[in-house]
Structure 1
Amino acid sequence: MSTTPDYPIADYTPTVALVTGAAQGIGREIALRLADDGFDVAVNDIAPQLEKLQKVVDEIKAKGRRSVAVTADISVEEQVAAMIEKTVETLGGLDAMIANAGISGGGPFLETDTNAWDRQISINLRGTMLCYKYAGQQMVKQKRGGRIVGASSILGKRAGLYLAAYSASKFAVRGLSQSVARELAPFKITVNTYAPGCILTDLVDHPLDAQFGGRGAFSKIVAGAPPDAPDAGPEVVASTVSYLLKPEAYFITGQSISMNGGTLFD
């Protein structure tokens, strides 16, 4: 593929978005916010989450937008390619790719299980790369620009205690996104990441929360923040993604946007 377009590119007009990991939490909130913004939204998660995913589809349709559930394991290349293809066939194109899906898990580094390490890197980094690759190919083919947004974390800017694999993957997503942003800039495609702090979803719930002061407390500690540090709901991430997808955000690319209540300054 040429690194520079040999055709005029129309102004970016957002129409269709795809959100991975959208059955719950931040992904679900992003998908619903984009429907409010006027997008038709394809929502992805793994097959066991299909029932939850279909409920998100129903909520989007209730807002007057089109939607489709596309199950896939984002670490499997053939499934990602099929996910993009189904989105395009059903909704007519792809203007925004939100590579939100990811997993967490941790423990003492010296006791690292290599299979668990490989699984986190495979989903959080390889999966994000595959989403970028196939979404980017589709956007270049459409010749109308686009938006790609990936999920980093506060732990992709300041490493977390007992979370070596997760932190490594989220640091890497930032590097990946900067490199891809440079390559896709001539095609009017921006690539950015969001880097949340403690967002109150199932991902931050831990059995030790009660011992340390309440929901999210343990996650704050491993992130290097006090247990009473600020937290927020997933809507703060969704609102940032919403802005990054707007036509006027064309001048923002290669960036990692933090929303952490001031627990970490860039």
Structure 2
Amino acid sequence: MSTAIVTGAGRGIGRAIALRLARDGHAVAVNDVDAESAEAVAKEIGGRSMAVPADVTDRDAVFAMVDAVAGELGSVDVMVANAGIAQVKTLLEVTPDDLRTMFSVNVFGVVYCLQAAATRMITQGGGGKIINAASIAGHAGFSLLGHYSATKFAVRGITQAAAKELAQHQITVNSYCPGIVGTDMWDLIDEKMGGYLGNEKGETLEEFSKLIALGRVQTPDDVAGFVSYLAGPDSNYMTGQSVMIDGGIVMV
């Protein structure tokens, strides 16, 4: 049985991915910085699952997490580096602390997950799948989300480089790029952007949603369905890609 780790899976997109991969037949390790949330989702999954609370910005903790999952569930075959944060600010306002925090989670965390998972997969033999959280903001920079956009552009570059380096081990590396998703993160973006744009709560989300060709806000399950493909055998010949799954906002 394949074993998947999903980071930031205590809620939102990560939770939906964890639940979907479990339905697909994977054993699932649910990671979150909040132990209670991770445990709740693991309990929701039941069966071959476990909660692995850890902070993805702590490299040693990420390696320990991977070791714990391999020890408990037998292997690590899929790593979904989903954990991420956003912050709304103009680039002129961004502080050194803002940059450190944003890059620590969205970039360093992705690299640490990649390093730990790939090291385990190489030792195991037989290949594996590493799946990173990027964003439409990694294909087109968004105003008021400049430093967030920078981290997602970085994830695209890391994904391409890792795909080339790890191909010899039959490890594929791809990223998923969501758009406007109905989650707590987008509630925060709506609220904070509203302050800059003079909008009431909900108005910014409504304005952005008009950009969606399919005419509706994305759900976490929409993202999870694509990650299911990336984690499964049908994507075995796909690597180095950062694919939009956004309802048709950014088309390249």
Q: TM-score, normalised by structure 2?
A: 0.91
Pairwise CA distance, 1:248: 2.5
What residue is the counterpart of 1:217 in the other structure? 206
Pairwise CA distance, 1:229: 5.8
Which 4+ runs in 1 deviate beyond 6 A? none
What residue is the counterpart of 1:6 in the other structure? none
Aligned residues, how many?
Answer: 244
What residue is the counterpart of 1:241 in the other structure? 227
What residue is the counterpart of 1:195 in the other structure? 177
Pairwise CA distance, 1:187: 1.0
Matched, 1:258 2:251: no
Q: Tell me the secondary structure at the aligned position of residue 52 of structure 2.
A: strand
Equivalent-residue separation in structure 2 for 1:71 and 1:50 (angstroms): 5
What residue is the counterpart of 1:32 in the other structure? 19
Q: Tell me the secondary structure at the aligned position of residue 18 of structure 1.
A: strand
Unaligned runs of at least 5 residues, structure 2: none
Equivalent-residue separation in structure 1 for 2:202 and 2:100 (angstroms): 33
Pairwise CA distance, 1:141: 0.6
Give the 3 Å change call, closer, same or farther, for CA 215–30 of structure 1 in structure 2: farther
Pairwise CA distance, 1:106: 2.2
Equivalent-residue separation in structure 1 for 2:16 and 2:203 (angstroms): 23
Equivalent-residue separation in structure 1 for 2:171 and 2:247 (angstroms): 29
The 8 Å contact of residues 178 and 255 in structure 1, kept in 2 or not, is answered as: yes
Equivalent-residue separation in structure 2 for 1:195 and 1:179 (angstroms): 17
Q: Tell me the secondary structure at the aligned position of residue 129 of structure 2.
A: strand
Residue by residue over 1:74-128, the C-alpha shift from the partner in whole angstroms, topping out at 9 and shown as x without a partner, is: 1111111111111111111100000000111021111111101111011100110
Q: Tell me the secondary structure at the aligned position of residue 128 of structure 1.
A: helix
Residue by residue over 1:20-39, the C-alpha shift from the partner in whole angstroms, topping out at 9 and shown as x without a partner, is: 00000000000000000001
The 8 Å contact of residues 230 and 263 in structure 1, kept in 2 or not, is answered as: no
What residue is the counterpart of 2:45 in the other structure? 60
Residue by residue over 1:162-184, the C-alpha shift from the partner in whole angstroms, topping out at 9 and shown as x without a partner, is: 11110000000000000000111
Q: TM-score, normalised by structure 1?
A: 0.87
**Could you tell me which amino acid in structure 1 is paired with residue 206 of structure 2?**
A
What residue is the counterpart of 2:3 in the other structure? 16
What is the aligned-residue identity percentage? 41
Equivalent-residue separation in structure 2 for 1:232 and 1:186 (angstroms): 36
The 8 Å contact of residues 45 and 72 in structure 1, kept in 2 or not, is answered as: yes
Give the 3 Å change call, closer, same or farther, for CA 17–86 of structure 1 in structure 2: same
Unaligned runs of at least 5 residues, structure 1: 1-13
Equivalent-residue separation in structure 2 for 1:92 and 1:212 (angstroms): 47
Give the 3 Å change call, closer, same or farther, for CA 215–233 of structure 1 in structure 2: farther
Residue by residue over 1:147-201, the C-alpha shift from the partner in whole angstroms, topping out at 9 and shown as x without a partner, is: 0000000101111111111000000000000000011111111100000110111
The 8 Å contact of residues 198 and 230 in structure 1, kept in 2 or not, is answered as: no
Pairwise CA distance, 1:263: 1.1
**Could you tell me which amino acid in structure 2 is paired with residue 94 of structure 1?**
V
**Could you tell me which amino acid in structure 1 is paired with residue 32 of structure 2?**
D
**Could you tell me which amino acid in structure 2 is paired with residue 77 of structure 1?**
R
**Could you tell me which amino acid in structure 2 is paired with residue 38 of structure 1?**
G
Equivalent-residue separation in structure 2 for 1:35 and 1:183 (angstroms): 29
Matched, 1:94 2:72: no
Pairwise CA distance, 1:215: 7.7
Pairwise CA distance, 1:135: 0.1
